[in-house]
C-alpha cells in the first residue's frame, strides 16, 4: 500500500483522529499519545504492510515504520485535526501513566522534532572531522570556517530550537518561549560569562538580586525548565487579563515575570544540574570501568527497542556542551554496528530469498545509523541474533572504553560518522566498530538461525523404499499459508495453545489464501468455511483453522475452492479469505495448523518465528519404524 493508504490504516487502528491527543515522529517511528489506549489495536497495526512493529511504551503508542516514516507522518498530519486537551484531561492522562512514563514521554516529545536538524549538523561536523583527519583542506581556510559554522549553528543556538518544541509539548506560546531563549542568549549574558574569567565579575544586579553570568549556548535543561514554568504562569496570567487586553498585556506580563525569574533562579539551577549530570556520567563511566562500558553497550539496543533511547538525548547533548564529548554515544555506536552485523549474519545464513533481501537492506541501513529495520524486521524475528547483538555491543564497548573513546558531536553513530569519535588513536575506533559488527555477524551465522531455515526451501518429489534397516523417515508438510510462523503457545485460544487438538504451528497470514500442503484429499470441509481438514496420501491428518472464533462469521469473507472428498495436490488453492475484512470484524486471523493424528508418529517438529511462503517446510513428521517396513514414504 502507498503512504496515504498506510496512514489511513494506522488512523483506523488507533481509534481514529479524535482519539489522538499528540502526534510526532522520530527517525523511524510515529509516536502517538492516545486519549484512550484501549482503542488502539497493536496487533492489527503490527500486521499492516509497511509497519515493522507497533508497541505501547511509557503510555505512548509507537508505530515503527523505518526509513519512510516522514512521508507516512506527513500523510497522517493531513488527516488529523488534534484538539488541545483541557487541564483535567491532561492531569487524568498523567495520573494513569505514572511519573517516570510522563518524564520519558516529555523528553521524547521535546527532542523528537529537533533530532533531525541536530543529526544534520552532526553529519556536517563528521564531514569536517573527516576532511581535517585526511588533510584534504587547510583547517584554517575560509571553506573550513564556513563548514564549521554550518556544523555548529544548531548546537550553538540550541535553546531557541528547544524553546519551540518545549512550548508545543507544554501547550503554551511558542513566541514567548522564544523570547525566554533570547534572554538566555543575549550578548550581555553570553559575553559577560566569557569575560568573567578575566574580569572576575560573574554577576550583574537586578533590584539588588544577583544575575549569574552563565554561558547558555548549547544548554538543554535551563530553557526546558523555563518553558515548563512559563506554561503555568501563562495560563494563570491569561485567565485574569480581560479579553480585549490579552493581545497587549498577557505576553508582556509573562515575559516581565519569567525573564528575571529564569536569569536569577531557573537558569543557574538548570546550568548547574546539567553540569552535575555530565560529571556523574563521567564518574560512572570512568569509575565503573569495563562493567559500566558493558552495561551501557549491552543495554542500548534494549532502550531503542522500547523507544526510550530519546530520553538519553539531553544527557548526551549536555555531555558535549559541558565536556566537549560524550561517552554515552559510544554505546550507541557499538549497538548500531552489532545490530547491523547480526542482520548481515542472517543474510549469510538463510536461504529464503525474501528474508535475504530484507536482511541485506536492513543491515545496510543499520551500518548507516538506522537500526529499527534490522532490529524489528530481522533480528527479533529469530530472537537469537538480537541477543547476540546485545552481547557483541557490550564486548565492543568494553574494548573502546580501554582507549578512552568518546564522541565530539551528536550524530547517528554509523560508519560514515566514525570520524567524530575520538580515542587514543582513531584506529581503535575502527577496530571497536569491526569487533561489534564482526562478532555479531559470525555468532549469528553460526548459532542465530534455525537449521530449517538454512536449507533450500524448494522440495522435490522423491520416494524412499523403507526396509528393516531403516529406523525412521521424515515427511515434510509445506506451509498452507504465507506469513509469520508462531508457536502454538502464542495462540490465545487454549484449545490450540495447550495442544488439546494436537501439536503443530500457528501462522499470522499476510495473504488470504490457503493451499494444499501435500498430496492427498479433503477430509472435512466445514460449512462455515473457516476451517478445513486434510489427509495426505501417507495418512497424515491436518486441521487448518483460519482465525480464532471465526465460526461466528458463518462463512462471511471466506470462499471455498474445493469440496469434501476432493483429491488435491501440493499447491492447489483450497480456500480464500479477506484478511482485512476479518480483522475489521474484530477477529484475530492467526491460523493454527494442527496434526490431529500425531499419536501415530514418532515426532512432530515445527520451526517458529520465521516468515514462510507456500514452498517453505512448516512441519516435519518422523514416522515410527513399525510403519516403515515395506512402505514407500513420499516427502513433498
Hey, which residues are catalytic here?
26
Provide the angle, in degrees to the nearest 10, between the axes of the packed helices 115-133 and 142-156.
150
d(CA 476, CA 312): 49
Assign 3-class secondary structure to 500-555. CCCCEEEEEECCCEEECCCCEEEEEECCCCCEEEEEECCCCEEEEECCCCHHHHCC
User: What is the Rg, in whole angstroms, of the alpha carbon atoms belonging to the chain?
Assistant: 30
d(CA 64, CA 582): 24
d(CA 432, CA 75): 40
* Alpha-carbon distances, residue 93 vs 10, 15, 99, 167 (angstroms): 22, 17, 11, 19
Q: For residue 287, what is its C-alpha cell?
A: 569509575
d(CA 609, CA 490): 11
d(CA 114, CA 162): 7
For residue 312, the 8-state DSSP code is: G
The residues facing 195 across adjacent strands are none
Q: For residue 263, what is its C-alpha cell?
A: 536569569
d(CA 113, CA 382): 33
Block residue for cell numbers 563521567: 282
Residue pair 161/220 in contact (Cβ under 8 Å)? The answer is: no
For residue 156, the 8-state DSSP code is: H
Q: For residue 373, what is its C-alpha cell?
A: 529495520
Which of 285, 347, 344 shows the shortest CA–CA distance to 316? 285
Residue pair 449/382 in contact (Cβ under 8 Å)? The answer is: yes
Q: Three-class SS of residue 206? A: strand
* Residue 568 CB coordination number (10 Å): 22
Q: Read off φ and ψ for residue 272, nearest 5 degrees.
A: -65, -40
The residues facing 54 across adjacent strands are 63
Which of 368, 281, 365, 370 shows the shortest CA–CA distance to 318? 281
Q: For residue 431, what is its C-alpha cell?
A: 577496530
* Residue 98 CB coordination number (10 Å): 12
Amino acid at each position: 500500500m502507498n503512504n496515504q493508504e498506510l496512514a489511513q490504516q494506522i488512523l483506523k487502528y488507533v481509534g481514529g483522529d479524535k482519539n489522538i491527543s499528540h502526534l510526532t515522529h522520530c527517525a523511524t517511528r510515529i509516536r502517538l499519545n492516545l486519549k484512550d489506549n484501549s482503542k488502539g489495536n497493536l496487533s492489527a497495526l503490527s500486521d499492516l504492510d509497511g509497519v515493522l512493529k507497533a508497541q505501547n511504551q511509557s503510555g505512548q503508542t509507537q508505530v515503527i515504520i523505518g526509513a519512510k516514516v516522514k512521508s507516512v507522518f506527513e500523510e497522517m498530519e493531513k488527516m488529523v485535526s488534534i484538539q488541545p486537551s483541557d487541564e483535567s484531561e491532561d492531569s487524568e492522562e498523567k495520573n494513569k501513566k505514572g511519573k517516570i512514563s510522563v518524564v520519558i514521554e516529555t523528553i521524547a516529545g521535546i527532542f523528537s522534532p529537533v533530532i533531525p536538524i541536530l543529526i544534520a549538523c552532526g553529519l556536517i561536523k563528521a564531514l569536517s572531522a573527516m576532511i581535517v583527519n585526511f588533510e584534504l583542506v587547510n583547517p584554517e581556510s575560509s571553506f573550513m570556517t564556513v563548514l564549521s559554522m554550518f556544523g555548529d549553528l544548531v548546537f550553538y543556538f540550541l535553546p531557541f530550537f528547544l524553546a519551540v518544541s518545549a512550548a508545543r509539548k507544554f501547550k503554551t506560546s511558542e513566541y514567548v518561549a522564544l523570547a525566554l531563549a533570547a534572554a538566555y542568549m543575549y550578548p550581555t549574558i553570553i559575553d559577560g560569562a566569557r569575560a568573567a574569567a578575566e574580569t572576575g565579575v560573574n554577576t550583574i544586579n537586578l533590584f539588588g538580586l544577583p544575575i549569574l553570568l552563565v554561558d547558555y549556548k548549547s544548554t538543554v535543561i535551563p530553557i526546558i525548565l523555563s518553558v515548563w514554568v512559563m506554561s503555568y504562569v501563562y495560563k494563570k496570567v491569561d485567565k485574569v487579563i480581560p479579553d480585549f487586553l490579552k493581545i497587549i498585556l498577557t505576553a508582556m506580563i509573562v515575559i516581565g515575570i519569567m525573564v528575571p525569574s529564569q536569569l536569577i533562579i531557573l537558569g543557574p539551577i538548570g546550568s548547574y544540574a546539567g553540569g552535575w549530570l555530565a560529571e556523574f556520567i563521567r564518574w560512572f563511566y570512568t569509575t565503573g570501568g569495563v562493567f559500566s562500558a558493558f552495561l551501557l553497550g549491552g543495554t542500548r539496543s534494549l532502550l531503542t527497542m522500547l523507544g526510550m533511547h530519546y530520553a538519553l538525548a539531553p544527557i548526551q547533548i549536555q555531555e558535549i556542551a559541558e565536556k566537549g564529548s560524550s561517552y554515552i554515544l559510544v554505546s550507541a555506536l557499538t549497538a548500531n554496528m552489532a545490530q547491523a552485523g547480526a542482520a548481515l549474519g542472517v543474510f549469510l545464513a538463510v536461504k529464503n530469498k525474501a528474508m535475504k533481501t530484507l536482511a541485506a537492506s536492513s543491515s545496510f541501513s543499520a551500518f548507516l545509523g538506522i537500526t529499527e529495520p534490522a532490529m524489528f524486521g530481522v533480528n527479533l524475528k529469530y530472537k537469537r541474533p538480537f541477543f547476540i547483538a546485545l552481547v557483541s555491543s557490550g564486548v565492543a564497548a568494553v574494548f573502546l572504553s580501554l582507549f578512552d573513546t568518546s564522541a565530539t558531536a551528536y550524530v547517528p553513530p554509523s560508519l560514515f560518522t566514525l570520524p567524530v569519535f575520538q580515542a587514543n588513536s582513531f584506529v581503535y575506533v575502527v577496530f571497536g566498530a569491526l569487533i561489534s559488527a564482526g562478532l555479531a555477524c559470525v555468532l549469528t551465522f553460526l548459532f542465530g538461525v534455525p537449521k530449517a531455515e538454512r536449507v533450500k526451501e524448494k522440495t522435490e518429489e522423491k520416494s524412499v523404499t523403507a526396509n528393516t534397516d531403516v529406523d525412521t523417515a521424515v515427511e515434510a508438510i509445506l506451509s498452507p499459508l504465507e506469513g509469520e510462523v508462531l508457536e502454538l503457545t502464542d495462540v490465545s485460544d487454549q484449545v490450540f495453545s495447550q495442544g488439546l487438538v494436537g501439536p503443530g504451528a500457528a501462522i499470522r497470514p499476510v495473504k488470504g489464501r490457503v493451499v494444499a500442503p501435500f498430496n492427498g484429499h479433503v477430509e472435512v470441509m466445514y460449512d462455515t468455511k473457516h476451517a478445513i481438514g486434510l489427509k495426505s496420501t501417507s495418512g497424515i491428518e491436518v486441521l487448518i483453522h483460519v482465525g480464532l472464533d471465526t465460526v461466528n462469521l458463518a462463512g462471511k469473507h471466506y470462499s471455498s475452492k474445493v469440496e469434501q472428498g476432493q483429491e488435491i495436490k501440493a499447491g492447489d488453492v483450497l480456500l480464500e479469505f479477506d484478511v482485512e475484512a476479518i480483522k475489521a470484524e474484530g477477529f484475530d486471523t492467526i491460523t493454527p495448523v494442527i496434526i490431529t493424528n500425531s499419536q501415530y508418529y514418532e515426532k512432530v517438529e515445527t520451526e517458529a518465528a520465521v516468515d514462510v511462503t507456500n514452498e517453505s517446510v512448516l512441519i516435519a513428521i518422523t514416522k515410527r519404524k513399525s510403519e516403515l517396513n515395506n512402505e514407500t514414504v513420499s516427502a513433498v
